[in-house]
Amino acid sequence: MDIQPFCGWRFASNDISRHIAPPYDILDQADKDKLLEKHEHNIVAVDLPHVPPKELGPEEVYKDSATLLEQWQKSGVMKQDSKPAVYLYEQSYNWAGETYSRRAMLAGVRATPFGKDIIPHEHTFAGPKADRLKLTTTTKTQLSPIFGFYDDPIGVTSKLASVMPDQPDLQGELNGVQEKLWVIKDQNIINEIKKALAETPIYIADGHHRYTTAMNYRDALRDAGLIGADHEANYVLFALVARDDPGLLVLPTHRLIKGLGKDFSLEKLRKALPSFVWTQCPTLDVDLGNADGYLKPLGQHAMAFVRGEEMWAGRLTDPQAMLDVAPDHCKAWRGCRNPARTDS
């Protein structure tokens, strides 16, 4: 990856609790209204002009976002750092009775096609990309970072922490998560990190549509002859977390499947998946608030299948089965172990 420091825009207040919001694509109109009730200068007013953001909205809502952002900048609600920096970002939260802290480096990363340097795991869709491209084009701003993880050869966040001020430049709380951010302008540290990560790829955990949008925006400017190779539009804002960060939890994903028909049964499913080891589970014993804790003793990446009052846990034991059904995906994607925790 090719990282670059940047002059970030941030809220002028040190306590940003009422200014921050969850990721835009998990919010509905009621969520947006509640955030704006707390403070009219909540970022959701700019970052979520159209609800739901699954398709292109009316032209005027994006223009309103751009106008509002410009007003905040001119009035001093937001301020821009005068010198390029990278940013140390920390989130502390509780899960299943334990407290975790996750640290990320916020930096620009040169936009390149998916492949060697930037590795995706999702497909993207035209509607969400059209929404984000219109917002980026009107505001000329990257409003939220891509969430990526990477192999950390030098302990990046520890190096940033070694030169950070005693007190964070910004801090706040949102939905029980403590948020802190430090501005790091030490050029020697930045250069050391930049050199160490030059050949390190990034795995996108979240933000495929925004990353693709950033490339499309860059390409449009470049094709029009408006920017060169070193223009800031060539770089995408990332929150980069080391893959061995203890706060990088990967929790179960829950899915409801409809339309299976009367003939479907978990017995038939088990027979159709001989590469799995199966364990029958008493559903009444499940703590739905800690499903990962319940499944952990059954083996890494065990999955629960529930139909009515019947539940079985299945765990894939034959990696060849994944190769047979998904030969086009990379080894880490197919692996029986978490790609965020393995060298495979």
Question: pLDDT tens per residue, the chain (344 residues)?
Answer: 999 999 999 999 999 999 999 999 999 999 999 999 999 999 999 999 999 999 999 999 999 999 999 999 999 999 999 999 999 999 999 987 889 999 999 999 999 999 889 999 888 999 999 999 999 999 999 999 999 999 999 999 999 999 998 999 999 999 999 999 999 999 999 999 999 999 999 999 999 999 999 999 999 999 999 999 999 999 999 999 999 999 998 777 778 888 888 889 999 999 988 889 999 887 666 666 677 777 778 887 788 888 888 889 898 887 777 788 778 776 666 664 443 333 32
| Rounded (10°) CA dihedral 213, 216, 218, 219 | 170
Question: Could you tell me which residues come within 8 angstroms of residue 29 by beta carbon, excluding any fewer than 6 positions away?
Answer: 51
- Name beta bridge partners: 148: 204, 240
pTM, rounded to two decimals: 0.83
Report the alpha-carbon distance of residue 129 to residue 209 in Å, rounded: 6
Residues 209, 132: contact at Cβ < 8 Å? yes
Report the alpha-carbon distance of residue 282 to residue 83 in Å, rounded: 59
Question: Could you tell me which residues come within 8 angstroms of residue 104 by beta carbon, excluding any fewer than 6 positions away?
Answer: 88, 89, 90, 91, 147, 157, 239, 240, 241
Residues 15, 172: contact at Cβ < 8 Å? yes
